[in-house]
Chain A
Amino acid sequence: MNGITYAGLLFMISSGFTLIFGVMRVINMSHGAFYILGAYIAYTLQKQTGNWLIAIIIGGITVGITAYFVRLLVSRVKGALPQTVLTLGIAMMIGDLCLYIWGGLPITVGEPVFTETPVALLGSTYPTFRFFVLALAIVTGSVMWYVLQRTQLGRILRAGTDNRSMTSALGINIDRIFYLVFILTGFITGLSGAVGGTYIAFGPGSDFTILTYALVVVIMGGMGSVAGSALGALIVGVVDSFGRAYVHEVAIFLLMGTLIIVLAFRPRGLLGREE
């Protein structure tokens, strides 16, 4: 059960990552930084106002705005590789800024009132908040699926993933789409940071742990595929929770081994397609 709720969080983190990669072929190295920025802002707001919901939404919006500026900088450089490397520099700066403002101690965002009472499940109690995370992840995933499959924006995004130059040749302002994707991703990631920050403690360095998990999930699921990142998140969540519960120290080998086995059979990830 822990594995599945954790997978929900991982999906929220990695879906935006895969979306950016899908349309732009850029690995957003500042993804983890987006996560902790959202978490820190939610932490402060929750403390000030006591209202958790407002805190996480403003956290999400702030990161969305940050993402806009990141995209602005990234567009100054040509080529996917230099753009990827540039986001790494941005990630360092955001990470250091957070360290400067909020200090070096790991913290958690205060839990919302409505999940304070744990629920009974199969004879034991289970924190309600984790169910809430799972529900939120399912809602996010469904909305994303709906947007991608059923709306005009989704059609453009899918077309952009398949063939970027052809899409822009059809008269679609792909540059504006890139901005939109960055802002949306920033929002979702900031939100998942705020929610994830309530779930697990975070601090300096969490940004790169999160980035690693997002990378593993997306590589396993297939880069650029939202459904793939859902599947990848589920596998990583369950394997990692299982490993942490039963084999402790070498849990990371379990994760690494799973990744290697998946890649040995499906070099492009589970749902990835050939270039």
Chain B
Amino acid sequence: MIRERAIRFSLVMVIFVIAITVPLWVPLYYVQLLDMSLSLGLTAMSFILLAGFCGMISFAQMAFYAMAAYVIGIGTMDVGWPVWALLPLAVAAAAFLSALFGAIAIRAKGVYFLMMTLALSQLFYGVGLEWESVTHGWNGIAGISRPEVFGFSLILTTPRYYMALFITALCYLVLRRIIRSPFGLALQGIRDNPTKMAALGFNVYLYRLFAIIISGAFAGVGGILGVYSTGVVSPHTNDLSAIVKVVLAALIGGVTRLEGGIVGAVITVFLISFTSQYTSRYWMVVGAVFMLVMLFLPNGVLGIKLKKPSSL
């Protein structure tokens, strides 16, 4: 027990040190990739919160992500609001959208829920594409200016990476706290046996809805990181390939643990980046990896690691 804890502590320290020092010893391009992985990873964690701890596979996470990104994009470029007002507004907008989608989709369970969220998020894609006077249609909004934090402009990759690292780590801790709180335990109870939890006096509907709203808000934070990372928001922020990336990240990492989202996101982003250097058929590769993960690694990468201690 103590040894296990020591191993875990040293592992956390190693990851921490690597994460802090990485901009010093890798090319800037990789820092940019890591920055993108963090926004993807945060969104994947919001997916895992629902999938792993509430038993709801939501394909709408990228819609919440895109909602926040659109608020930042439109707010910065078209309306000209200050950043301090836009950030909470973006998260609130993502949470609002998730409340709306959640209220519709929540009565459906299992595959039905997945189907509803997919349909809703694809309708939201349509909104981005067709409501040209607001969303700028197909091209979206590009060249979104980044704010300055403590005198460092976030247009530079390294300060942006540290900012994303800080926010993602913070969100991870908050999410972990939520999962271990009575609220989170109730959610896991509802996942395992909703009828029993309802009989125990838990309002299953409200618990599920709150879980979706929380997850939507975190996906929104991911969207803010993402939009500052790329400087672009367009319908493609929320197209099916983006959804595939989130789901793939969560599945590669494993949906049983929050950390899976980050691990999976780093693997996904680097996989896509490396394969796209050699071939323009990288979606083929991604699709194949996706299939292989589903066929042979249903518990994800972290799932394998976890098995060993229990078998000893």
Interface residues of chain A, those whose CB is within 8 Å of chain B, are 25-27, 73, 76-77, 80-82, 84-86, 88-93, 95-97, 99-100, 205, 208, 211-212, 215-216, 218-219, 223, 249-253, 255-256, 259-260, 263-264, 267
Contacts and interface: CB of A to CB of B under 8 A. Distances in A.
Contacts of A252: 123, 126-127, 129-131
**Most chain B CB inside 10 Å of its own CB: which residue of A27, A73, A96, A255:** A96
A82 B298 contact: yes
A212 B104 contact: no
Interface residues of B, number: 41
Contact of A81 (B114, B118, B125): B114
Contacts of B108: 267
Contact of B116 (A91, A92, A97, A219): A219
Interface stretch (B79-87, B141-149, B258-266, B289-297): B289-297
A231 to B, nearest CB: 17
Given A27-B111, A80-B110, A88-B247, A93 B291 contact: yes
Contacts of A97: 284
Given A88-B247, A252-B131, A215 B118 contact: yes
B283 A251 contact: no
Nearest to B116: A219
Given A80-B111, A88-B244, A212 B291 contact: no
Nearest to A264: B104
B114 A89 contact: no
B152 interface: no
Contacts of A93: 283-284, 287-288, 291
Contact of A215 (B119, B127, B130, B281): B119
B295 A86 contact: yes
A274 to B, nearest CB: 11
Contacts of B118: 27, 215
A76 B283 CA distance: 22
Nearest to A217: B119
A219 B119 contact: yes
A72 to B, nearest CB: 12
Given A26-B111, A81-B110, A212-B119, A88 B104 contact: no
Contacts of A223: 112, 115
Given A89-B290, A251-B130, 11 more contacts: A76-B295, A84-B111, A89-B291, A93-B291, A211-B240, A212-B122, A212-B125, A223-B115, A252-B126, A252-B130, A264-B104
Interface string B144-182: 000000000000000000000000000000000000000
Given A93-B288, A249-B130, A260-B104, A216 B114 contact: no
Nearest to A86: B294
A88 B247 CA distance: 10
B132 interface: yes
A223 B107 CA distance: 14
B289 to A, nearest CB: 8
A95 B112 contact: no
A81 B287 contact: no
A63 B194 CA distance: 41
11 contacts: A27-B111, A76-B295, A86-B294, A86-B295, A89-B291, A90-B287, A92-B284, A208-B122, A252-B129, A256-B127, A264-B104
A255 B123 contact: yes
A92 B268 CA distance: 15
Nearest to A205: B239
A81 B244 contact: no
